[in-house]
Amino acid sequence: MHDTVLTLSLSAAMGVVLVVAAKKFMIPAIVLLLGGGILLGPEVLALVHPESLGNGLETIAALTISVILFEGGLTLDFEGYRKSSAVIRRMLTIGPLITWFGVSATVYFLYHTDPVMALMVASMVIVTGPTVVLPILRRLKVKERLHHVLYWEGVLIDVVGVFVAVLCYEWITNRGELPLMNALGNFGMRMLIGFAMGTATGLLIALSLRREWVEEEHVNIFVLAGALFTFGVAHAILPESGILAVVISGLVVALRKPPRLKQLKRFKLQLTEVGIGTIFVLLSAKLELDRFNDVRLLLLLVVIVFVLRPLVVWISTWGQKFDWREKTFLSWIAPRGIVAASMASLFSLRLSELGYKHAELIETVTYAAVIATVTVQGLSAPWLAKLLGVQRKDRRTWVLLGDSPLIKALGSALRKGGVKTVEVDGVAGNTNFIDPDEPRFNDVHAVFFADITMLSNVWTAFNWGFHVNATAYYRWATFENEKSKHIKLENVPKQCESVWATTVTSAIVSAGIQAGHQSIELVEIGSNLERGRFGKEQLPLFWINEGRATIIHDPMNPGEPAGNMAIVLRQRELGLSRILSHVEVMDEGAVPFEVAVKRLAVSAHRQFPSLPQEEVVAGIFDRTQTMPVAVGGAVAIPHAYWDGVDRSVCYLGVVPDGVSDMAAPDELPVKLVFLLLSPTGKATEHLESLAAISHLTQEPEFIDLICRQRVPARILSLITERG
């Protein structure tokens, strides 16, 4: 007797080691798992003996499959389905039929089997396993629609293949007078039970998470228990109906979007990797290698890979504007995986026990397809993708981590500039439970830690961010952020560049956005950046060029623009644009102060006809005798209270050659005349408006920029940018 505990524990340990090694060396995990299982099995070292588990092997395989398929339903990307829905529908309907009947005919003629047994063998190689396809997609970063087609096919075709296999099994084993009709009836019952059980448990799981009936630390094990319960009960009602039930259950949970859904992803990934490693070592350890020494197997594989798969792809993509390179790549990537292998072992064992001839052929053909497609296609996929040019040449997605108001504002501005973003709320989202292998992280260019001090777990966030496999990493690193107790500078990853050190802290900006005092916005800058366009009241954070974002390391010294748009951090306390009503450019030479004020008063009278124009001008001149209006920095602010206006209102006169008869405290010529009028009794509003205008004197470059303009609309636009 062989030691059952040793077999199981050694398989689990070796499986995990090989999965880790595969990720380290960027090769498909199943390539190593197949080799490791054969090496440890009776054919070589004889350390692992799957037969010692008895029926337990079937149980372990079934439970592992249930978790994998629940995860598949949970992570389906409906946006991706909408982008290639016609192709995906054909791949899941026409595709399986072509493969099924094509392989059946080939098996029948090569092995001279019973036609129903040939259909049974063929049903096992319909599927392309998600456990193989998804790691390939993570490594390759292919074009988005290719990714979505292969992703959806890999997850859902498992269910299609299993149900076809079950239909064939029922047909073979049914002893009634109408075996096909009975098989179809049982098939329909499995569909009904699977949909009903999956929908019910999915709704219950989602409701439990939404109502917070489960404590946060128990969410993962609760959902795992729910998936196993769904599979077990459906399987007990009618064998093999649990497969569909777990997929539907995961799909329903994903559609309901409970608040703790993100917490499941990382746990799910780790659990499935352990299960896949264990079961594949066990299944491959029980293979008899002399079965594969058959030229007929080679001929069958040639038909599957070079005839049937291309036929499926070219028919499925007909009329969908896929070029020949994309079709060729889809034709080549169809590796079989764990579901096909485990179901083949299961049905082969059952039919052998019932005395059916050629039952072992089910397992032999399936494993030959798994070994050949995983090894050849998995290892050659990067080379072929590069040769065909179907990889994403330009990663553009930015992943933003931080406090929700901050990353939402930043993400919104970037998207307006055509930049693809993924926002991860570090406070509520718990980054340690978000799967970095999700399709939305398929083409990440950079990860930006927008507010690392506010993340619930700083180091988990850093570790998660570096698993996204981006080309660059940045963190908002002001002095105040860096001295936070959360940050130990010697432990910050060296690849993570510090940016925006000269700005205010991210916490202040987040609070300012919520209060409405600050904003992050997209602005047009054209082909040339005008001197004075940016300053401390409007800090540039990113350059935007044709959907690409380039981060500006030091907003106070942005350098030459790397695009025709910019994302800016804008201070909104001033509110000058709120009171500015009219701009007039007086470019006929030096203008006396009285003339400038009279011309602005005309504009005020047009807006408020009841305003006594001459009295306003006289009143202002009386005040200038005792209270100078030139405040320095080329600015003068003649102002008065008057009953003819209903709010504070400002009129700007731009005098490029200067006011001829006015001296300023700093001896600079006055070039900007702001006429400010406020209602009588509105002292607070009047003083706030004066402060808003006076604040301009602190930005001489911006004043110079305004003075150089000759188009009133352009001046108004520049001032509006500042808030």
**Which domains, from first to last, does the chain contain?**
59-271+296-332+339-388 (1.20.1530), 397-572 (3.40.50), 577-721 (3.40.930.10)
> What b-and-e string marks burial along 561-599, b requiring 16 or more CB atoms within 10 Å of the CB?
bbbbbbbbbbbbebebbebbbbbbbbeeeebebebbbbb
Whether the pLDDT of residue 19 is over 50: the answer is yes
What is the C-alpha to C-alpha distance for residues 72 and 248, in angstroms, rounded to an integer? 10
Say what the pLDDT of residue 159 is. 66
pLDDT, tens digit, 9 for 90 and up, residues 612-662: 888 888 888 887 777 888 888 888 899 888 888 888 888 999 999 899 888
Cα(19)–Cα(132) distance, rounded to whole angstroms? 12
* Residue among 413, 429, 716 at smallest CA distance from 543: 413
- Residues 376-394: tens digit of each pLDDT: 888 888 889 889 988 776 6
Lookup: tokens for 705: 């920029």
In whole angstroms, what is the distance from residue 225 CA to residue 240 CA?
A: 19
Q: Which 3 state secondary structure label does DSSP give 242?
A: helix
Token pair listed for 628:
């100078």
pLDDT at 518 exceeding the cut of 90:
no
For residue 92, count other CB atoms closer than 10 A to its CB: 16
Please compute the mean of the pLDDT values over residues 670-678 and round it to a whole number: 91
Query: What is the reported pLDDT for 327?
Result: 93
Give how far Cα 45 sits from Cα of 39, 52, 285, 363, 473, Å.
6, 16, 10, 22, 46
pLDDT digits (tens, 9 = 90+) for 23-73: 777 676 777 888 888 899 888 888 888 888 877 777 787 777 777 777 666
User: Residue 430 has what DSSP assignment?
Assistant: -
Higher local confidence (pLDDT), 258 or 434: 258
Q: What does the chain come to in residues?
A: 723
User: What is the 3-class SS of 46-58, one letter each residue?
Assistant: CCCCHHHHCCHHH
Tens of pLDDT, residues 139-184: 777 887 888 788 778 777 766 777 787 778 777 776 555 556 666 7
d(CA 632, CA 469): 53
Look up residue 615 and give its two tokens. Answer: 């009295």
The reported pLDDT for the residue numbered 197 is 92
pLDDT at residue 693 in the model: 82
Determine the Cα–Cα distance for residues 694 and 630; give it in Å rounded to an integer: 10
CB atoms within 10 A of CB 341: 29
What's the pLDDT band for 265 if we cut at 50, 70, 90?
low
Sort 383 into a burial class: Cβ within 10 Å, 0-12 / 13-18 / 19+: exposed
As a whole number of angstroms, the distance between CA 579 and CA 607 comes to 13
Quick check: helix, strand or coil at residue 89? helix
Residue 2: its pLDDT value, please? 62
Name the pLDDT band for 331 (thresholds 50, 70, 90).
very high
Collapse the DSSP code of 484 into the 3-class scheme (helix H, G, I; strand E, B; otherwise coil) and give the result.
Answer: coil
Report the chain's mean pLDDT, rounded to a whole number.
Answer: 79
Q: How confident is the model at residue 190 (pLDDT cuts 50, 70, 90)?
A: confident
Name the token pair of 382: 């990067």
Give 298-310 pLDDT, tens digit per residue: 999 999 999 999 9
Q: Is the pLDDT of residue 490 over 50?
A: no
For 675-697, what is the mean pLDDT?
83
pLDDT of 488 > 60? The answer is no
Q: Return the SS3 of 268.
A: helix
Which residue, among 478, 499, 490, 467, has the nearest Cα to 399 in the 3D structure? 467
**pLDDT band of 509, cuts 50, 70, 90:** confident
Q: Compute CA 670 distance to the chain's CA centroid, rounded to the nearest angstrom.
A: 53
Mean pLDDT confidence for 226-233: 89
Run of H or E including 632:
strand 630-632
Q: Looking up tokens 């124009």, which residue turns up?
A: 613
